[in-house]
Amino acid sequence: MRGGYPIDDAATALLRLFVIHQGVTTGVGNADGTSMPDATLIGQTLPSTMSILIILNPGGLSAEIREVYSFQTITGVFGLRNPHSGPQIAAGTPYALLASIGRSLSQTPIPVAAVYAHPDSVAELTVFQYNPSPPADKFLGIWLDMVNHIQDTTIRVKWIPDGATLRTFHTKVWTPSDDPVVYIPEFTIGMATGSLAVTVTVQSAVLEGAARNLPYRYIVRGA
């Protein structure tokens, strides 16, 4: 082996007690060995206790231990804090995720509550923006209270995956006949170079007739 730690037969039984997922990579990772894709996990939410990854070397009995610091639910890509010694992780590489022993990616949740004063406008306007702090992942649960709105409103959640371009990854069209509380489930923001600011916007289909207060709340969790 050129990196990581060897895992012998005596340790195998103990390690199996902490396995939370086993899979096989569906594509190649970054050239520097700091990422690993598994498209079968797209849309999945992995346990927040996940922090240790075993990369099994195809065709051999040895393995490498690598720390996972991020997982992209929309792409199925893991971010690795210490590079694989390959260096690039090949497609078809079997791996296992272990529950964290002694620490967790998730710490005390941090709730944020405020009120956005939405002007009488049909423009797409920002309710709030959140900027995560590398290298930790951040997890958000978002609640918007639309009780004061009387017109159809499009809600968008955006982020900057490439450090430059703000992209929409969640859209909901709220109508006055819907429940006034809009909940956007927890999702993962992976760390990379550049800004990964999460932005929530609203856009009324027609004028509301007056400014409307929009209470909102979100919860941040991270390492």
Band (pLDDT 50/70/90 cuts) for residue 160 is confident
Total number of domains in the chain = 2
Model confidence pLDDT, tens digit, residues 3-15: 344 444 555 555 5
**Whether residue 122 sits in one domain with residue 43:** no
**CATH code assigned at 212:** 2.60.120.510
Model confidence pLDDT, tens digit, residues 59-90: 444 567 777 777 787 888 888 876 656 668 88
Is residue 133 one of the residues assigned to a domain?
A: yes
How far is it, in rounded angstroms, from Cα 128 to Cα 117? 11
Domain containing residue 197? 110-222
Band (pLDDT 50/70/90 cuts) for residue 201 is very high
Model confidence pLDDT, tens digit, residues 20-36: 777 889 999 888 888 88
How far is it, in rounded angstroms, from Cα 75 to Cα 89? 16
Write down the residue that tokens 């800004």 correspond to. 195
Task: Single out the residue in 99, 130, 165 at which a domain terminates.
Answer: 99
**Whether residue 117 sits in one domain with residue 92:** no
Is residue 104 one of the residues assigned to a domain?
A: no
* Mean of per-residue pLDDT scores for the chain: 76
Task: Single out the residue in 71, 99, 127 at which a domain terminates.
Answer: 99
**Whether residue 121 sits in one domain with residue 195:** yes
- Residue 210 confidence (pLDDT): 96
- Residue 208 confidence (pLDDT): 95
**Whether residue 132 sits in one domain with residue 94:** no
How far is it, in rounded angstroms, from Cα 61 to Cα 8? 9
Kindly state the average pLDDT of the residues 186-213.
79
Mention every residue, 6+ apart, whose C-beta is less than 8 A from residue 35.
29, 77, 78, 79, 80, 89
Helices and strands per DSSP (H, E), number in the chain: 1, 14
H helices present in the chain, as ranges: 9-16
